Structures are given as C-alpha cells and as structure tokens.
Amino acid sequence: MIKQSALRVLEIEQRAIAQLAQYIDDAFVDACQLILPCKGKVIVCGMGKSGHIGHKISATLASTGTPAFFMHPAEANHGDLGMLTKQDILFAISNSGETAELLALIPVVKRMGVPIIAMTSNPQSTLGKYADVNLCIKVEQEACSLGLAPTSSTTATLVMGDAIAVALLDARGFTSEDFALSHPGGSLGRKLLIRLEDVMVKEKSLPLVLEQQNLREVLLIMSQKALGMAGVIDNNGKLLGIFTDGDLRRVLDDRIDIHKTKIYEIMTPNSITAKPEMLAAEVLTLMQKHKINSLFLTNTDGKPIGAINMQLLLQAGVI
C-alpha cells in the first residue's frame, strides 16, 4: 500500500512535468525577452507553497546570471513593496491566479510601470489577465490523493522556473567562471579563487640560470626542474628574460653550438611575469591571451620568487 501510493505520486508528477512542454511557447519566449534587457532585478512573489517555490526560483535565477530576490507579498502590502523599483520586473506566482495578497499589489505595480510576469494555471484569472506575460503551469491533477495539497502543481512551477533560469543562462552566454563568482564557497569557486602563491613552485625548485651560462648548462637545469623553461637572471638576481622549450626548438633549427652559445644571446627578454598574490584564474586568462604555457612570478624588485605553468594550473583544478 505504501509503495503503491509513492509510485502513484511519481507517476502523476512525471506526467505533469511532461505536459509542461506544451507551455514552452511564445509566452515563454516573451518572458525571457522581457527579463534579458532588465536593468534592475527580478522580484519573485508568491504566498504559501508558491512562496516556497518562489524562494528557490529567485535563488536559481540569481546564481545563474539573472539578479533576483524573493519578496513576500503579505509583507510587501505593509511596506516591503519599497524593494521594487521602476527598473525591476515582478514575477508573481499563484496557481489559481486569485491570491489576494498578490492582487492587492497590482494597482501600485501597474502605476509604477513595472512589467509583470505571472505564473498561473489559468491565463484567464485576474492575475493572468493583468500580467504582461502569463506562463501556464496547469496540471491535470495533484498527486495528493485528496486532490488538495499542492504537489504536482508546485513541482510543475519549480520546473518551469528552472526552464526560465537555464534559458536565460544560455541566452546570456553565462560561463562556469561567472557561476564561480556567485559561488565562492563552492568547490568550483574555491578553485577559481586560488592564488598563484598557493600553487607556484619556489625556492630550490625554480629553474634559474645566470646570463653568462651556456645553453648546455641551461638544458641540464631545465631537465632537472621539469617546468619547460628557465629564467635568466643577472648577478643581482633580477630576471632578465626567459628560455623555453619552444625557444629550444627554434635555436636547434639554427644549428647553434650548445657549448659556446651564451643563454643571454638567445633568451626572450622582457618576458611576461605575474605577481604571487594574483588569482590563478586571472593569470590563466593572461597566459591564454599571450599564448604562453609558463611564466615567472616576481617581487617588487623584479626578482623571480616563483614559477607557474599550465600543468600546475591543471593539477590545481583551475583549468
């Protein structure tokens, strides 16, 4: 009996979700096109179970590139409507479309000229008629055996909210980096907020050579340190340039003498550098822009104190 009841709920709610496809129509597109250029926020409103679903929808919108927050309609009727500005959009959720607390807001919202997107099961309801766009969330039946408790209807509302959020995400070209910026406490956010000083190689692991050393000596150091590069320094420890695996292929094509050629003659001077306190994600963008695989990190005196390459960024989960 218990299992049968549970399976019945799943079957009804699955059917309700499947039937939502018919409501991904011109009204759905109109709602997205209304939100995309919005310079303010999407203010989500709903009473009771619709309010609980509204909280989740507003949170999903906010975390996927559409600024949004939830405003309780009862509190809005007693002062919180001041949260709403003329640049915002009101996203009102009511299965019946006749929720008194929401309807009481409509005259003021209309007077402000704020667009209204409604989510109801009845486009001909009062809320549906006054809304600029009505998203239909009608279901055949509630999963509740009494037909009373909001079950299928709230599930359909939640799914429609997710559909709106993801459609907007795709339309905006929202990226994983954008997502991380609004989720600094999540695993993705932590990876993208790593600083170079957390992952750089330093001290004895740095492949540093003096400017007068010959290429043969430099190649030995590069092999030992395994970063695919060497930093060329003067007698005071200041970075003069860099020599990489790519540079090696170039000079070998020129058939130079690795025993006689001094590294300062073939290095790349004034190489691109970074600071240890910079975000790894920021430096990844820099490296991709200049099409380089590695670089040195310097202090205020121009002395190398660390090094980073794509492999280290990959291991840190930044890539």
Nearest residue to 211 via CA among 266, 257, 249, 251: 266
Comparing 119 with 253, the larger pLDDT belongs to 119
Mean pLDDT of the chain: 91
pTM comes to: 0.64
| pLDDT at residue number 306 | 94
| pLDDT at residue number 19 | 94
Question: How far, in Å, CA of 187 to CA of 253, rounded?
Answer: 45
| pLDDT at residue number 153 | 94
Residues of the chain with CATH 3.40.50.10490: 2-173
Tell me 71's DSSP state.
Answer: -
Burial class (CB in 10 A: 0-12, 13-18, 19+), 17: middle
Fold of 2-173: Rossmann fold (3.40.50)
| pLDDT at residue number 315 | 84
Q: Is the pLDDT of residue 180 over 90?
A: no
Q: Give the per-residue SS3 of 149-183.
A: CCCHHHHHHHHHHHHHHHHHHHHHCCCHHHHHHCC
Q: What is the pLDDT averaged over residues 121-133?
A: 96
Q: Is the pLDDT of residue 160 over 90?
A: yes
Tokens of 93: 């959720």
| pLDDT at residue number 243 | 94
Q: Tokens 């299992």 belong to which residue?
A: 3
3-state secondary structure of 43: strand
Task: Give the number of other CB atoms < 10 A from CB of residue 22.
Answer: 9
At 36, is the pLDDT very low, low, confident or very high (cuts 50, 70, 90)?
Answer: very high
Q: What is the pLDDT averaged over residues 186-200?
A: 76
Nearest residue to 56 via CA among 100, 64, 176: 64
Given the candidates 3.40.50.150, 3.10.580.10, 3.40.50.1820, 1.10.510.10, the CATH classification of the domain at 196-315 is 3.10.580.10
% of the chain at pLDDT higher than 90: 73
% of the chain at pLDDT higher than 70: 95
Residue 132 C-beta-side C-alpha neighbours within 13 Å: 17
Residues of the chain with CATH 3.10.580.10: 196-315
Of 97-106, 139-148, 195-204, 281-290, highest mean pLDDT: 97-106
Lowest mean pLDDT among 37-41, 119-123, 307-311: 307-311
Q: What is the pLDDT averaged over residues 133-157?
A: 91
Contacts of residue 174, Cβ cutoff 8 Å, sequence gap at least 6:
64, 65
| pLDDT at residue number 249 | 86
Q: Is the pLDDT of residue 181 over 90?
A: no
Amino acid, single-letter form, for residue 244: T
Asked if 34 and 66 touch (Cβ cutoff 8 Å), the reply is: no
| pLDDT at residue number 195 | 87
Sheet of 208-210, strands arranged across: 208-210, 229-233, 239-244, 268-269
| pLDDT at residue number 188 | 62
Which pLDDT tens digit goes with each residue over 261-311? 999 999 999 899 999 998 888 888 889 999 999 999 999 999 999 999 998
Amino acid, single-letter form, for residue 163: A
Q: Is the pLDDT of residue 128 over 90?
A: yes
Asked if 242 and 222 touch (Cβ cutoff 8 Å), the reply is: no
